[in-house]
Structure 1
Amino acid sequence: MIILGMFLCIAAIGILCWLLFTLAIFALPLFVGVSAGTWAFNTGAGWPGAILVGSLAAGLTLGVGQILLGVVRPIWAKLAITLVFIAPAIVAGYHASHGIAKHMMPSEIWQIVFSVIGAVAVGVTAYLRVAGMTAADQSGRDVVRA
């Protein structure tokens, strides 16, 4: 049973890391949606209104980000938009890695080291995903020039 528990623990960590890497680019829309939903709830909208406002704010944030990445031409502006989406992913990656590292090792220094490594890995993954969305949008744009 102890060996089964270790394998289940490793599988759970793998699944959580996969989820973190997959959903990293949605950290900014999630933060915006939760903030807008909390604001709506505190102003008296109730649960349904808060969920509706949060969902609309999150969707609008993701949609505007994708439109801006497709429309904006200067590379420095695209990099700035990409960094706006990547910064919350890095913060989320740090805290997720730190939560896992706290359970795995007693040394606080090594916890921070592995948390920073996890944050960098999540940041790079989020950057590649956002850059991949931009490259997919731009793939057929410059094919025909007269």
Structure 2
Amino acid sequence: MFLSALLSFVGLGFLCWLLFNLAVYALPFFVAVTVGHYAFENGAAPIGAIAVALFAGAVALILGQVAFATIRSPTIRLAIGALYALPAGLAGFHAVKGLSETGGTGAAWTLIFASIGAIIVGATAWVRIASFAGSETQSGGVDSHHAGYAAREG
């Protein structure tokens, strides 16, 4: 009995860890599945559809990271971040809803837990996409700090 409860707890922890780590990839995964399905339905062989899907998902991920890191307009960065965070939040909603229903929670509490899960997973995806641009911003701050120090030294 104890071993069963322990393994359930470890399994649930692993699923939560996996959900948070994969949250930022919800949009590229959606793009990959959509493009792969479209390619398959239009005559591509299964291997070709998979190759096209992998390429489309990688392009969606890389373009989003590069756009978020290089664009300085807060409005556009907000839109790009939301574009990545909203599908992740939707995935988090359904994952937590499924886990809550499995545990036998009532309908109202299931929706409350699922909504909280959606907010947390969406925020995690937002922080992850924002961290792609964080390293560039931090290096700029370090350079300006060293430049100010060098100017004082003379």
Question: Is the pair's TM-score, using the shorter chain for normalization, greater than 0.5?
Answer: yes
Give structure 1 stretches of 5+ with no counterpart. Answer: none
**Aligned partners of 2:104 and 2:136: how far apart in 1?**
43
Task: Report what 1:11 is aligned to.
Answer: 10
1:6-45 map, 5 Å: 6-45=5-44
Give structure 2 stretches of 5+ with no counterpart. Answer: 148-154
Return the letter of the residue paired with 2:30. F
SS in 2 for 1:23: helix
Identity over aligned pairs, percent? 36
Is 1:127 paired with 2:126? yes
**Aligned partners of 2:28 and 2:140: how far apart in 1?**
27
Computing the radius of gyration over CA atoms, which structure comes out larger, 1 or 2?
Answer: 2
Task: Report what 1:97 is aligned to.
Answer: 96
- More divergent stretch after superposition (64-73 vs 81-90): 64-73
CA contact (8 A) 2:100 2:113 kept: yes
**Aligned partners of 1:87 and 1:106: how far apart in 2?**
25
Give the alignment's TM-score, normalised by structure 1: 0.93
**Aligned partners of 2:12 and 2:137: how far apart in 1?**
36
**Aligned partners of 1:97 and 1:88: how far apart in 2?**
14
Kindly state the Cα deviation for residue 141 of structure 1 after the two structures are TM-superposed.
Answer: 3.3
Kindly state the Cα deviation for residue 127 of structure 1 after the two structures are TM-superposed.
Answer: 1.3
CA contact (8 A) 2:85 2:122 kept: yes
Return the letter of the residue paired with 2:12. I
CA RMSD of the aligned region, Å?
Answer: 1.5
Return the letter of the residue paired with 1:7. L
- More divergent stretch after superposition (65-74 vs 80-89): 65-74
Which contiguous aligned blocks of 4+ residues in structure 1 show a shift greater than 3 angstroms?
none
**Aligned partners of 1:51 and 1:141: how far apart in 2?**
40
Task: Report what 2:150 is aligned to.
Answer: none
Kindly state the Cα deviation for residue 105 of structure 1 after the two structures are TM-superposed.
Answer: 2.4
Task: Report what 1:141 is aligned to.
Answer: 140
Kindly state the Cα deviation for residue 59 of structure 1 after the two structures are TM-superposed.
Answer: 0.4
Task: Report what 2:152 is aligned to.
Answer: none
Return the letter of the residue paired with 1:20. L
Kindly state the Cα deviation for residue 138 of structure 1 after the two structures are TM-superposed.
Answer: 2.3
Give the alignment's TM-score, normalised by structure 2: 0.89
Q: Going by fraction, where is helix more abundant, 1 or 2?
A: 2
Task: Report what 1:49 is aligned to.
Answer: 48
**Aligned partners of 1:81 and 1:136: how far apart in 2?**
18
